[in-house]
Chain A
Amino acid sequence: MATATFRIWRGSPQGGRFEDYSTEISEGMVVLDAIHDIQARQANDLAVRWNCKAGRCGSCSAEIDGQPRLMCMTRLSTLPLDRPVTVEPMRAFPVVKDLVTDVSWNFRVKKQIKAFNPRPPDAQDGSWRMLQEEVDRVQEFRKCIECFLCQDVCHVLREHHLHEQFVGPRFFVHIAGLEMHPLDTEDRVPELRQAHGVGYCNITKCCTKVCPESIRITDNAIIPLKERVVDEFYDPLKKLFAKLWGLV
């Protein structure tokens, strides 16, 4: 049987290094299979997060040969195996151990975003009427599996570390899903401009490229949100009227 070498980052918040592990490979294998084999046979204490093994839960995010990917959806047949495959943790988040990173910031950010707040029900039984065409757009955003690969690749977070001023692509998708929800009555546009920092995004579309769910993050979520901010705060006509009549 063929073997391949995996160059896996092993370490802690204090530091670490790559270590090479060779393991047998077979047809159809994905990177996570290889990691599991290495964990079971050679490195019992190798730390890796995973759950569903089918690209649904978004737990096994890592950087494979430098690319942010889900380990469970990366087939070995798509990688060059004549040299070691590097597997390292997401670099935009602090390391916990080996391939596991501390993504708790994401959960704190979500808590700060205004919750869904529906209009009163349309029918006696407490239900609403919505057409499929109305929900299609938001259903795209709700495909998000919270793998945080978009956060990992976003330079505002990865290079500039603006975690306190910028919520990142994942949460623009989340906010877009709320703002465009046919039932929602809340207004999140002031926060988008201030606390959520949508202005920092300069639409390089790196997030869209790595999304395993193929959500068009930049085009369908971030740009429309930027437009809402512009409409509300930078509309020249509105400004003129405000000046003339002292409206805010």
Chain B
Amino acid sequence: MAQYETYQYDVLVIGAGGAGLRAAIEASAAGVATGIVCKSLLGKAHTVMAEGGIAAALSNVDERDNWKVHFADTMRGGQYLNNWRMAELHAREAPQGVRDLEAWGALFDRTRDGRILQRNFGGHKYPRLAHVGDRTGLEMIRTLQDHGVHRGIDVHMECTVITLLKDGDRVAGAVAYDRERGRFRIFQARAVLLATGGIGRAYEITSNSWEYTGDGLALAYEAGAELMDMEFVQFHPTGMVWPPGVRGILVTEGVRGEGGVLLNKEGRRFMFDDIPELYRNQTADNEEEGWRYTQGDKQARRPPELLTRDHVARCIVREIKEGRGSPHGGVFLDISWIRKRLPHAAEHIKKKLPSMYHQFKALADIEITREPMEVGPTTHYMMGGIHVDADSQMSTAPGLFAAGECAAGLHGANRLGGNSLSDLLVFGKRAGTHAASFAQEHGPTRIDLEAAEASVRRALRLFEGNGQPALGDGPYRIQQDLQETMQRLVGIVRAEHEMLSALEAIEQLKVRAQAVRVSGNREYNSGWHTALDLPNLLIVAEAITRSGLERRESRGAHFREDYPSQDLAQGKLNLVLRKGPDGQMRIERRPIPQLPQPLQQIIDEMK
């Protein structure tokens, strides 16, 4: 067995984005020894990229807002597949989550009377997003990081977990390697909390960085926990499309919230052409009303650019497919037109959207105050993930908790913009509290050293043969082939025959991943790291594809061209996946529990 270091914690948090940090702070505040492990340096996780804001019914800008409206908006956005208890807790507790951040030093933009300012966003009935220009995620992660480092939390930076260890049924720890030196670490813990974020690297065009390989989902799946709602991958409607190196990088929905419009090459505002029935009453039917909404007119309805992300993404795909796209295969997003409406429009845009201004100027030579941007859909967010209990965030594996993007339930079939940051705050806090009590209520765990050693051996096997891959390809090539497969066959518009060929391709990729070998040594070896991430990506890809095949209807982010409408019966169930005793992926249809009357009433009243 290779050398390794061992560490013991009451609560081990895996992932240091918003959810992981929030959870670690809460666990530590409960008085238990808390450790946090993250793949990157502290403060670099994808939360930093969140631009628009944190959705919370503070009702600072529109006093008609309250948790009930936020709850109804979230359920409508998720096409009623959401775990309604999570949606309720989220709507009720998000305002406190924002206030906690302010108490720890976050400085949000202000209203005239000195309170936290809130902005409009897609699918939210009232201006609800607490924000700092278009760098809200940076403000959030830095606040949590700076608060967290003074709480005595141990941080293991640039450290990747490869296996969860179990003590009987209970999750009891983890095996990890440090990226710098390639040394192994064994963590023994009374409770393990996954906060590993998304899966964007399963696709070719994504807003996600190299980190988002679905590690938490794969770790939980291998440990026997259930995954849920895996067919629902959010394609954000507006990613950059040019130049090639930045394809997929996010363009915040805040651009549309500030009055930006989507245009095809004929200059037509095509979003007016298709407004879904569910949103007709809330959507402006003319440009004038839409503009007034973005400027805070409480009588006006929102412009169709602010419909939910799944719908906007599909409308963009339609324009491109039908030949009305922009030169580099996107559509136009124009904020510069507000010059016609506002004095000092250029200054206003730079103040409200400084990062976007800088991003386009530096990377694409586009001056967004004067000319339109080119945008197209990009893989952005995973609605599905680890199946958790709504109140405690514990998975179906005892002692294993999950929060944030890697957990499923809150967002149903489609997530509203701004509900991700609030999700991290609300459920990060809950998971931290409950993981800490679990650790206090349950005795110490025993580490299965044999399993740990087997895990280390598997990782080191990749160096056998000194860089001569058995089938002639390296880890980057396999990852690229998987991304291309998923992009082409399990993307925004899906069909049975395509997903069946994707499954076949995934099987072949599994064989290639088994045979992959890497060169060099264990020190900061990106090739080795990429090879170790491959099995996780393959599990995620298979789960998305199998769930996509099983849901024979179109709902939210899951659109089937062979089943283009919603099906009432399938709208009452979630798809749940777990690893069967034979090692194969099992899929099960699970009915959604009946909504309690008071919550049903809220939804009916807000229709």
A interface, CB within 8 angstroms of B: 12, 26-30, 32-33, 39-40, 44-59, 73, 75, 96-98, 100, 102-104, 107, 110-111, 115-116, 118, 121, 125-132, 135, 138-139, 142-146, 178, 181, 183-184
Would you call B233 an interface residue if the criterion is a C-beta within 8 Å of the partner chain's C-beta atoms? no
Would you call B43 an interface residue if the criterion is a C-beta within 8 Å of the partner chain's C-beta atoms? yes
Q: Which of B104, B363, B521, B527 contacts A73 (CB 8 A)?
A: B363
The answer to whether residues A127 and B115 also contact, given A58-B44, A111-B149 and a CB cut-off of 8 A, is: yes
Q: How large is the interface on B (under 10, 10 to 19, 20 to 34, 35 or more residues)?
A: 35 or more
Q: Which of B244-252, B429-437, B494-502, B559-567 contacts A (4 or more CB under 8 A)?
A: B244-252
Q: How far is the CB of A190 from chain B (nearest CB, A)?
A: 19
A129:B149 contact, CB within 8 angstroms: no
Chain B residues in 8 Å Cβ range of A53? 209, 245-246, 249
Chain A residues in 8 Å Cβ range of B246? 28, 30, 53-54
A115:B150 contact, CB within 8 angstroms: yes
Chain A residues in 8 Å Cβ range of B250? 54
A51:B211 contact, CB within 8 angstroms: yes
B99:A125 contact, CB within 8 angstroms: yes
B363:A28 contact, CB within 8 angstroms: yes
Q: Which of A54, A126, A131 contacts B103 (CB 8 A)?
A: A126
Chain B residues in 8 Å Cβ range of A107? 41-42, 149, 155, 157
A130:B44 contact, CB within 8 angstroms: no
The answer to whether residues A142 and B475 also contact, given A28-B363, A44-B526, A132-B109 and a CB cut-off of 8 A, is: no
Q: Which of B82-90, B134-142, B187-195, B381-389 contacts A (4 or more CB under 8 A)?
A: B134-142
Would you call B507 an interface residue if the criterion is a C-beta within 8 Å of the partner chain's C-beta atoms? no
A12:B139 contact, CB within 8 angstroms: no
Add 6 more A-B contacts to A52-B249, A73-B362, A146-B142 (CB < 8 A). A45-B526, A52-B48, A53-B245, A97-B523, A135-B107, A184-B105
12 A-B residue pairs with Cβ-Cβ distance under 8 Å, sorted by A, are A33-B244, A33-B245, A40-B480, A45-B520, A45-B521, A52-B48, A57-B49, A59-B44, A73-B363, A104-B157, A121-B103, A128-B102
Would you call B371 an interface residue if the criterion is a C-beta within 8 Å of the partner chain's C-beta atoms? no
Q: Which of B45, B133, B526 contacts A46 (CB 8 A)?
A: B526
A40:B476 contact, CB within 8 angstroms: yes
Q: Which of B44, B109, B155, B362 contacts A51 (CB 8 A)?
A: B44
Q: How far is the CB of A243 from chain B (nearest CB, A)?
A: 39
CB within 8 Å of A: which of B505-539? 518-521, 523-528
Q: Tell me the bound Cα distance from A55 to B426 in angstroms.
A: 28
Q: Tell me the bound Cα distance from A54 to B243 in angstroms.
A: 12
Cβ-closest chain A residue relative to B113: A129
Would you call B348 an interface residue if the criterion is a C-beta within 8 Å of the partner chain's C-beta atoms? no
A55:B524 contact, CB within 8 angstroms: no
Q: Tell me the bound Cα distance from A24 to B43 in angstroms.
A: 33
B210:A51 contact, CB within 8 angstroms: yes
A143:B364 contact, CB within 8 angstroms: no
Chain A residues in 8 Å Cβ range of B362? 55, 73, 75
- Chain A at the B interface: SS class: loop
Q: Tell me the bound Cα distance from A178 to B142 in angstroms.
A: 13
CB within 8 Å of A: which of B230-276? 242-246, 249-250
Chain B residues in 8 Å Cβ range of A39? 476, 526-527
Q: Tell me the bound Cα distance from A117 to B231 in angstroms.
A: 45
B475:A44 contact, CB within 8 angstroms: yes
Q: Tell me the bound Cα distance from A53 to B527 in angstroms.
A: 19
Chain A residues in 8 Å Cβ range of B138? 56, 142-143, 145
Chain B residues in 8 Å Cβ range of A181? 105, 107
Q: How far is the CB of B522 from chain A (nearest CB, A)?
A: 10
The answer to whether residues A130 and B132 also contact, given A45-B525, A53-B249, A55-B358 and a CB cut-off of 8 A, is: no
Q: How far is the CB of B90 from chain A (nearest CB, A)?
A: 19
B146:A131 contact, CB within 8 angstroms: no
Q: Which of A44, A73, A146 contacts B476 (CB 8 A)?
A: A44
A96:B180 contact, CB within 8 angstroms: yes
Chain A residues in 8 Å Cβ range of B107? 130, 135, 138-139, 142, 181
Q: Tell me the bound Cα distance from A121 to B520 in angstroms.
A: 56
Q: Which of A12, A46, A96, A130 contacts B114 (CB 8 A)?
A: A130
A59:B475 contact, CB within 8 angstroms: no
Q: How far is the CB of B106 from chain A (nearest CB, A)?
A: 8
Cβ-closest chain B residue relative to A184: B105
The contact string, 1 if C-beta is below 8 Å from chain A, for chain B 97-126, is 001001111010110011110000000000
A118:B523 contact, CB within 8 angstroms: no
Q: Tell me the bound Cα distance from A27 to B243 in angstroms.
A: 7
Q: Which of A28, A48, A57 contacts B364 (CB 8 A)?
A: A28
The answer to whether residues A50 and B147 also contact, given A55-B358, A145-B138, A181-B107 and a CB cut-off of 8 A, is: no
